[in-house]
Chain A
Amino acid sequence: MSEATLLAVFEDLDPAASAIEKLHEMGVGDENINVISGVPVAHKILGRPHPWTNVSKLSMGGAIAGFAFGIFLNFGTPHLYGVHVGGQYITPIPPGAIVTFEMTMLFALLATFLGVFLDSYFPNYRPLEYVGEVSDGKIAVFFRISEADAKKFTDAMNTLGAESVKPAEARQL
């Protein structure tokens, strides 16, 4: 049985939330639904599962890598070519704390930034399913269903106040 992806555009959050509830009732699982919006909307407002993200884990990974690099710069490099002056330690701790802090933060910030790219698959210049009205504040709900049920779902979305319901088409953004 062939599948179709429909795109329903809603003016506001309330009808969009009702539409998602209706889709659940009609047997469409969360894995077959996607919502795009012009502002971040908490999952609980739309009755959606909590979206996963690896960004915080990557931040932590970056911080650990940065900490290790800072330790290497401070306490590793002076020993590669030891220059001992006046019997003083070549690896004092207080200046080391400063460099280690900066490296920890730098790597953590870089990893966080890259994490957004990795998790969101940025940059992505391929044709994608999208409607420009989203950046005008509309809420778009995509859902994948069997092609035979398209009429039934279109009617249901229209009843719940969708401004338009049409087959989603991938287009160049």
Chain B
Amino acid sequence: MTATSKYLSGAKEAHDSHHQEEDPKQYLMYDPKPRGEMNAMVMESMHTTSWKFWVVLGVLAFLVVTCFFFAWGYMIDEGLYVGGVMRPSYWGIFLVNTVFWIGISHAGTFISAILRVFKAEFRRPFTRAAELMTTFGLIQAGASIFMHMGRVWLSYWMLPIPNARQLWPNFHSPLMWDLLAITTYVLGSTMYLFLPLIPDLAMARDRSTGWRKTFYKILALGFRGTEGEWRHLTVAMNFFAFAIIPVMFSVHTIVSWDFAMAMRPGWSSSVFGPYFVLGALHSGMGAVAMVLFVMRATMKHMDYFIRKEHFDALGKLMLMVTFAYTYFFFNDYIVQWYGGDKATDTLLHWLEEGPMAWMFIQFVFFNIVIPPLLLWSKKVRETPWLLALIGLMINVGMYWERYLIIPVMLTINRMPFTWKLFQPRIEIFLTIGTFSMFLLFYMIVSRLIPLIPVWEVQEGQMTHSLRKVGKAKLPTISEFE
């Protein structure tokens, strides 16, 4: 065989394999199992724990006790001076953590609500895992704000109740908007997490004994699955899916206004709202990729529910969000760069060449340069550990971005005699504490509630079928509701 004919036959094989019909069973919706079997798989994944799980849980619990509760107690006892916040950086890592955790929390709503509204079917197996991130992320964001307050026992002063002289809080401050928006989002997302969980809690109730039976029985509220119960539940879930989206957008926009409303170099920007929202989605998506990778790698039977197709779809979303985020970053940067304001010029040069330049460069590479270079490839998107690694990189970059925006931009202000680089002290422990608590909550809950919404998966599988058109079998989706 000549080299040319060898080449041609090889090319034909490659062409044929490229056009070979895909096996539909590689997709969860076209690979159904009986509901009873799926229930058993999810229950087993909750009940099966190895010694490694308990070791990690123990380490995290220790970190939470020491780095979160003890360190916070010490700071309350001693005063805020044990932290690094002082002139000019009055807002230190606590606010960085707040913005970071609120960002993480956006993934749950985006995955669950927006994809539900648009009927994106790949969302089905991992909506709950993403929603849990919202609730636990917001708990850490709230805790970080309380840490920053110092005299946390006076936090009720922000509530809409008057003091003894009938003087009410001033609702015209962005910090008050934060309180209202974050409260709305915490309550809304927790309710939105709970509603679709009720049928799965009822399923767990029917398959449990002992204390678990009592636990699920209380939480399932007596749900049986009557026509009326499903109707009330689906109407409510649809309403939540639509209503929580503007709330999600409002929360991070308001957080951005905490900065953008001030006439400071680097902060006063009219695109800060959407820029922050995109940043939140950017880090949230990355965090979902990490969580899905860990779930799939450590929990039994998760490889059935969470497949390559889900990582691929998530990777495409991450790619799209990266492009949008890059657009807003560039928009924010170039307008300030062209502005000609002396203090802003100094700040931008300081970011590029100053002592924190390594952070700025890492942020640009991790969030803007590397993700699009890798995520265009289907192979990369379908490799769970690689997508999780990109997610980790994005989150490190986003943390740096918030660090640059808060303590660093507070440092370079219009009064050079106050310039002093922020040095975190007890904040480092408290940051470790919030991360540990987030992971601890997630690990505990993974053994208590079904992380896979089995009824949603079954509903999806019932509505998907293959229809023969000519010689091909084409995917067809019908609607049950």
Of A83, A103, A106, A136, the residue contacting B36 (CB under 8 A) is A136
Interface residues of B in 167-210 (CB under 8 A from A): 167-168, 171-172, 176-177, 180-181, 183-184, 187-188, 191, 194-195, 199, 202-203, 205-207
Q: How distant is B155 from chain A, measured CB to nearest CB, in Å?
A: 18
Q: How distant is A87 from chain B, measured CB to nearest CB, in Å?
A: 16
Residue contact B228 to A99, C-beta cutoff 8 Å: no
Residue contact A53 to B188, C-beta cutoff 8 Å: no
Residue contact B222 to A112, C-beta cutoff 8 Å: no
Q: Known: A109-B244, A132-B206. Contact between A40 and B191, CB under 8 A? A: no
Residue contact A95 to B187, C-beta cutoff 8 Å: no
Residue contact A101 to B171, C-beta cutoff 8 Å: no
Residue contact A173 to B187, C-beta cutoff 8 Å: no
Residue contact A48 to B235, C-beta cutoff 8 Å: no
Residue contact A43 to B246, C-beta cutoff 8 Å: no
Contact with A along B445-465 (1 / 0, CB 8 A): 000000000010011001000
Scoring A35, A37, A112, A128 by chain B CB atoms within 10 A of each residue's CB, the highest score goes to A112
Residue contact A109 to B240, C-beta cutoff 8 Å: yes
Q: B79 at the A/B interface (Cβ < 8 Å)?
A: no
Of A34, A42, A52, A83, the residue contacting B226 (CB under 8 A) is A34
Q: Report the interface size for chain B: residues with CB under 8 A from the other chain.
A: 63
Q: How distant is B442 from chain A, measured CB to nearest CB, in Å?
A: 24
Scoring A117, A122, A130, A136 by chain B CB atoms within 10 A of each residue's CB, the highest score goes to A136
Residue contact A48 to B227, C-beta cutoff 8 Å: yes
Q: B243 at the A/B interface (Cβ < 8 Å)?
A: yes
Q: How distant is A157 from chain B, measured CB to nearest CB, in Å?
A: 18
Interface residues of A in 26-83 (CB under 8 A from B): 34-43, 45, 48, 51-53, 55-56, 59, 73-74, 77-78, 80-81, 83
Q: Which residues of A contact B235 (CB under 8 A)?
A: 53, 55-56
Contact with B along A109-134 (1 / 0, CB 8 A): 11011011101111111101010101
Chain A interface bracket (under 10, 10 to 19, 20 to 34, 35 or more): 35 or more
Q: Which residues of A contact B247 (CB under 8 A)?
A: 102, 105, 109
Q: B73 at the A/B interface (Cβ < 8 Å)?
A: no
Give the distance in Å from the alpha carbon of A125 to the alpha carbon of B217 in the complex: 8
Residue contact B222 to A101, C-beta cutoff 8 Å: no
Of B167, B225, B228, the residue contacting A81 (CB under 8 A) is B167
Residue contact B168 to A78, C-beta cutoff 8 Å: yes
Scoring A38, A77, A81 by chain B CB atoms within 10 A of each residue's CB, the highest score goes to A38
Residue contact A112 to B239, C-beta cutoff 8 Å: yes
Q: A92 at the A/B interface (Cβ < 8 Å)?
A: yes
Q: B224 at the A/B interface (Cβ < 8 Å)?
A: yes
Shortest Cβ distance from A129 into B: residue: B224
Give me the interface of B with A, judged by CB distance under 8 Å: 34-36, 39, 160, 162, 165-168, 171-172, 176-177, 180-181, 183-184, 187-188, 191, 194-195, 199, 202-203, 205-207, 217-218, 220-236, 239-240, 243-244, 246-247, 250, 254, 455, 458-459, 462, 479-481
